[in-house]
Every structure is written in structure tokens, then in C-alpha cells.
Amino acid sequence: METTVATTASQGDVWGGGNQPLRASYGKMMMWFFIVSDALTFSGFLAAYGFSRFKFVDAWPIADEVFTHFPFLHGVPAPMFYVAFMTFILIFSSVTMVLAVDAGHKMKQSKVAMYMFLTIIGGAVFVGSQAWEWATFIKGEYGAVETKGGKILQFLDTEGNRVAIGSFAESMHSEATEHEPSNGIWFMSGNDQTSYNFEEVKAGFLANDNLLIRTQYLDENGHPTVLSREASVAKIQKDGKLVVEGANLKRNEYGHPLFADFFFFITGFHGFHVFSGVLINIIIFFNVVIGTYERRKSYEMVEKVGLYWHFVDLVWVFVFTFFYLV
């Protein structure tokens, strides 16, 4: 460690500024304090997620059954692999970032530039992956029926495999059309049309004896409850109301609407952090390339943006655990 700043000669200046009791520059310390406050924001979101999940703990979707997709592996269930891949990308971009910081300490301009570039690529791959994850989540896979009470009914065959509504719904002539702003409320638009309406799904369900309904309530083993055929028929006739395909902020086919709300909000806010991190990294990268820090004889800016970047990685570690694992 360096010797302390306050020597006998300078002790009179303790309150006069110019000394660094924490041996960190102003900018670095402020970055740390920003990180503390941002960490509290994220923990607010994650704790709110925990609150809502505890509130509906017997009816919460199981993440492994929701996020089972992997690009180019259509129909092959691959729970968790894609998020694990995203986690690796982010940890790896943290490694290149810390290597850039280290190269900065040694004043190696071209090495800093190279590592910054790799970090930017890693961040871009992560944001792209998140976009893909969102698109898959929004599109949905099997579709479901929502009850009058706002709960989700999913369909299974007798072996317990999920069945897509499109595979059994009976096509019927439907009078429903999409809402046009020109005939009515101008600020509302359509897009509520699903590929099958509830009557078609109901008719198809009643005609296929091998279909069962799975409710969003979990049994004592933590699996969603599957109803018997009689109970399923009674349930869809008495409670069924509309078809849900995919997910949005109001309803989702995976279960409780709050699950989708928190998914969009938490991963969206994190993705926004990654996106801004990439932008800041790009600015710093160009500054490195044009030699700003070489002239300044200090690569501390790289260190500060590195702190932010590692923080984004740190948050993802928690999001990964609390959204996908626990």
C-alpha cells in the first residue's frame, strides 16, 4: 500500500480538501455510491417479486417449464440452457472488462482497446439474447384458456404432455373481427384476436376424450394440479372464458399475470442497464482508441465504467437465481 497522504506537514489541511481518506478518487467513490443505490433499486424489484410470489405461492408458474427454448432447437425442451449461456456470456464479458482495466493500469493502449472491444461484443450478444428470450416468451407456445376468475387452464394429453390449442381446436365460422379505430373508440386498437376463439377450443376439447386440464394451482409435491377428464369437462364448461396465446402485461398463458409483469420489468430494467453499459463502453472504447487516456496518463475512466459493467453482471447473477432457479 502507498503511504498515507496525511503527513505532519499536511495535517493542517485535513479539512481543506485535497486528501483522499478512502484512497479512492472522487469519481470512483461516486460510482460505488451510485452502485449501492442502483443495487437497492434492483433489490426493490426482486423483493417485490418475492412478495408477489409468496402471496400466490401455491399458484406460481415453474420457471423451468416456461423457459425451455433454445435457438435453432425447435421443439427440443432445453430448460435453463439458454439463460445459462447468457450468464456465461455476461461473466465472460466481465472477465474481458477486468483485463481491460488491468491493461489500463499498465498503460497498454492497444490491449485496453482490444479487451474493451470484446466486452462490447459480449454485451451486444447478451442484449440480443435477451431480445430473443422476450420474443419467445411473448409469442408463447401452447396457448391456454383463461377462466372467469382470471386463472389459467392448460391442456395435457393422458400421458401428461402439453398440447397446443391449435392441434385440437375446431375451426368454426366466427363473426368476431378486429377492432378498427374508425368504428368506435379511436385510441383503442385491435390485436386482441387469437388464432382460435374460446368456443372453438371448447368444442375441440369436448370432442377429444384424451385431453385433460391442468390448473395453475400446485399440489403438495409442487407440480401443477391435473384434473380428471370429468372435472376437466366441468371446469371448461363452467369457468372457461377466453383464449390466451403468449404473454403480455395483462395476461399470459404460463400462469399468473404477475409472473409476466415481473419478467418484463426486471429483465427489461436489467437489459436497459446492459444496453446503456454497452453505449458507455463504446464511448470509452473510442476514447481509448484516439488516445485520450494516453494523453491523460491515466486509464481511470476504464476502471469506472468497469465498475458499472461488473455491477450489471452482479445483478444478473441475482436475477438468474431468483427468476430462473429458485
Partner 1 sequence: MGHHEHSLAIFRGRLKFKSIEQKIWGVFTFLSIITIVEVIFGIIKPEALMVPFMSAFEGGFMATMANIFLSPFIFMKPLNLIFIVLTIVKAYYITWDFMHMRDETKALRRMVVWTAIFLICYLILILLVEGDYIFEVYKSNYVKFDF
| Four-point Cα dihedral 10, 13, 18, 24, nearest 10 | 80
Tell me how far, at minimum, the Cβ of 217 lies from partner 1, in Å: 11
> In angstroms, rounded to a whole number, what is the distance separating the alpha carbons of residues 297 and 293?
6
Tell me how far, at minimum, the Cβ of 324 lies from partner 1, in Å: 7
Query: Which CB, 38 or 157, lies closer to partner 1?
Result: 38
Tell me how far, at minimum, the Cβ of 50 lies from partner 1, in Å: 5
The answer to whether 209 and 163 have CB atoms below 8 angstroms apart is no
Query: Which CB, 32 or 269, lies closer to partner 1?
Result: 32
Helix (H) or strand (E) holding 50: helix 26-55
Phi, psi for residue 186 in degrees, rounded to 5: -70, -25
| Four-point Cα dihedral 60, 64, 70, 74, nearest 10 | -80
DSSP secondary structure string for all residues of 278-318: HHHHHHHHHHHHTTHHHHHT--HHHHHHHHHHHHHHHHHHH
Query: Which CB, 34 or 132, lies closer to partner 1?
Result: 34
Tell me how far, at minimum, the Cβ of 48 lies from partner 1, in Å: 7
- Output the nine-digit C-alpha cell for 78: 432445453
Query: Which CB, 80 or 124, lies closer to partner 1?
Result: 80
> In angstroms, rounded to a whole number, what is the distance separating the alpha carbons of residues 105 and 303?
9
Specify the DSSP class assigned to residue 167: G
| Contacts to partner 1 by CB under 8 A | 1-2, 21-25, 29, 32-33, 35-36, 39-40, 43-44, 47-48, 50-58, 64, 79-81, 84, 87-88, 91-92, 94-95, 97-99, 101-102, 105, 149-151, 222, 298, 300, 306-307, 310-311, 313-314, 317-318, 320-321, 324-326
Tell me how far, at minimum, the Cβ of 170 lies from partner 1, in Å: 30
Tell me how far, at minimum, the Cβ of 326 lies from partner 1, in Å: 5
- From residue 206, how far is each of 170, 203, 211, 260 by CA, in Å? 10, 5, 8, 30
Query: Which CB, 46 or 247, lies closer to partner 1?
Result: 46
Query: Which CB, 38 or 199, lies closer to partner 1?
Result: 38
Q: Which residue has the cell 374508425?
A: 182
Tell me how far, at minimum, the Cβ of 30 lies from partner 1, in Å: 12
Query: Which CB, 13 or 209, lies closer to partner 1?
Result: 13
